[in-house]
């Protein structure tokens, strides 16, 4: 009879342990299913592919073999951005696009500078409080215990590599701006012209962050659309090129005909004007005013003249007769009568 009171207490204990074990088994099965199931396997595969594509993108930073139109070598960022925007590594390109757009949106809606100051003062307050509390309570600062034995520094190789990357990146933008400005690639310059024209009008109705998101989206989406429908787009571009070539040939032929016609008319008018000018010159030469006077002929010879043929000069002075001087009478001038003035 003494064993009966213990039976009811043993059964609940056994039931509780079995329930706990069942829960643990279910949790382990769920964890195993999530870790080794198809979703986890797919996630691991996608992560491995994304890692490989990022490594391929980083390895693509090589100085290209072709040069600029001026013969200058290009930077390794030319090949990097060409690989990035071509979507040959789609996961890496998608990650870069999402990262850039997220950074623009975060800069717009998050006060990152204020958050940076907040994180700074919170970290400093934590380290100072831990150091003071440790010295008061334990006679040894807590921050001192986690302080590294040697402060971290940047190696010269790392700093040189960073400076070299910045140098190459800045030169990439400088070279590309000049190549677009001087139309080394007419298609790229035309696209840049359209983009600048649209941005000039959109900036009046869109904020700068929205314009930046639109520009980045266009920069990433347009190459993706082209690579997806490359054959169709190339055929359409070839058709448009043929039409432009045909129209230009017709324009050149029409222009050559018009030029030849204008040249003939010019020659005809010049011939008419020269004929009229010659006719006018002929008429002027036939007029009496324009007839030149005849040149005098040779002088006739004169006969020999002797001194005896002339009369002898007088030897006496001529007598002058006395002439009475004439008297002149001065008269006053008579002033003309003035006409009466009209009232």
Decide if 89 contacts 57 (C-beta within 8 A): yes
Residues near 183 by beta carbon (within 8 Å), at least 6 away in sequence: 189
Query: Token match 């990022």: residue?
Result: 54
Decide if 102 contacts 85 (C-beta within 8 A): no
Residues near 213 by beta carbon (within 8 Å), at least 6 away in sequence: 101, 104, 105
Neighbours of 133 (CB within 10 A): 13
pTM of the model: 0.61
Distance CA 71, CA 140 (A): 66
Decide if 81 contacts 100 (C-beta within 8 A): no
SS3 for the chain is: CCCCCHHHHHHHHHHHHHHHHHHHHHHHHHHHHHHHCHHHHHHHHHHHHHHHHHHHHHHCCCCCCCECCCCCECCHHHHHHHHHHCCCCHHHHHHHHHHHHHHHHHHHHCCHHHHHHHHHHHHHHHHHHHHHHHHHHHCCCHHHHHCCCCCCCCCHHHHHHHHHHHHHHHHHHHHHHHHHHCCCCHHHHHHHHHHHHHHHHHCCCCCHHHHHHHHHHHHHHHHHHHHHCHHHHHHHHHHHHHHHHHHHHHHHHHHHHHHHHHHHHHHHHHHHHHHHHHHHHHHHHHCHHHCCCCCCCCCCCCCCCCHHHCCCCCCCCCCCCCCCCCCCCCCCCCCCCCCCCCC
- pLDDT under 70 in the chain at which residues? 1-17, 31-37, 284-343
Q: Give the tens place of pLDDT for each residue, 24-50.
A: 777 777 766 666 667 777 878 888 888
Token code pair at residue 137: 């309570």
Token code pair at residue 329: 């009478």
Decide if 79 contacts 64 (C-beta within 8 A): yes
- Residue 63 pLDDT: 87
What Cα–Cα distance (Å) separates residue 155 from each residue in 56, 147, 166, 168, 303?
26, 20, 17, 20, 129
Q: In sequence order, what are the beta bridge partners of 73?
A: 67
- Residue 4 pLDDT: 45
Decide if 46 contacts 91 (C-beta within 8 A): yes
Token code pair at residue 304: 């020999």
Distance CA 96, CA 112 (A): 20
- Residue 114 pLDDT: 92
């Amino acid at each position: 009879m003494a064993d009966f009171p213990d039976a009811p207490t043993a059964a609940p204990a056994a039931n509780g342990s079995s329930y706990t074990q069942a829960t643990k088994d279910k949790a382990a099965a769920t964890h195993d299913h999530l870790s080794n199931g198809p979703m986890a396997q797919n996630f691991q595969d996608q992560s491995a592919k994304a890692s490989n594509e990022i490594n391929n993108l980083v390895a693509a930073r090589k100085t290209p073999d072709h040069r600029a139109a001026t013969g200058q070598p290009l930077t390794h960022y030319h090949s990097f951005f060409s690989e990035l925007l071509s979507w040959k590594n789609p996961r890496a390109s998608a990650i870069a696009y999402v990262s850039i757009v997220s950074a623009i949106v975060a800069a717009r809606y998050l006060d990152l500078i204020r958050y940076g100051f907040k994180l700074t003062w919170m970290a400093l307050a934590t380290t100072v409080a831990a150091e003071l509390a440790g010295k008061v309570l334990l006679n040894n600062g807590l921050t001192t215990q986690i302080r590294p034995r040697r402060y971290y520094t940047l190696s010269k190789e790392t700093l040189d590599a960073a400076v070299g990357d910045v140098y190459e990146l800045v030169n990439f933008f400088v070279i590309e701006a000049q190549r677009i400005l001087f139309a080394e690639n007419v298609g790229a310059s035309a696209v840049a012209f359209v983009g600048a024209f649209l941005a000039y009008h959109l900036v009046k109705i869109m904020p700068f962050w929205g314009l930046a998101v639109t520009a980045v989206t266009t920069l990433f989406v347009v190459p993706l659309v082209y690579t997806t429908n490359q054959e169709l787009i190339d055929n359409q571009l070839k058709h448009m090129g043929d039409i432009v070539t045909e129209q230009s040939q017709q324009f050149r032929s029409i222009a050559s005909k018009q030029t030849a016609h204008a040249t003939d008319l010019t020659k005809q008018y010049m011939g008419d004007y020269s004929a009229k000018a010659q006719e006018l010159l002929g008429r002027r030469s036939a007029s009496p005013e324009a007839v030149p006077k005849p040149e005098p002929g040779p002088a006739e010879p004169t006969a020999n003249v002797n001194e005896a043929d002339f009369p002898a000069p007088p030897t006496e002075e001529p007598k002058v007769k006395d002439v009475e001087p004439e008297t002149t009478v001065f008269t006053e001038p008579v002033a003309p009568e003035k006409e009466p003035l009209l009232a």
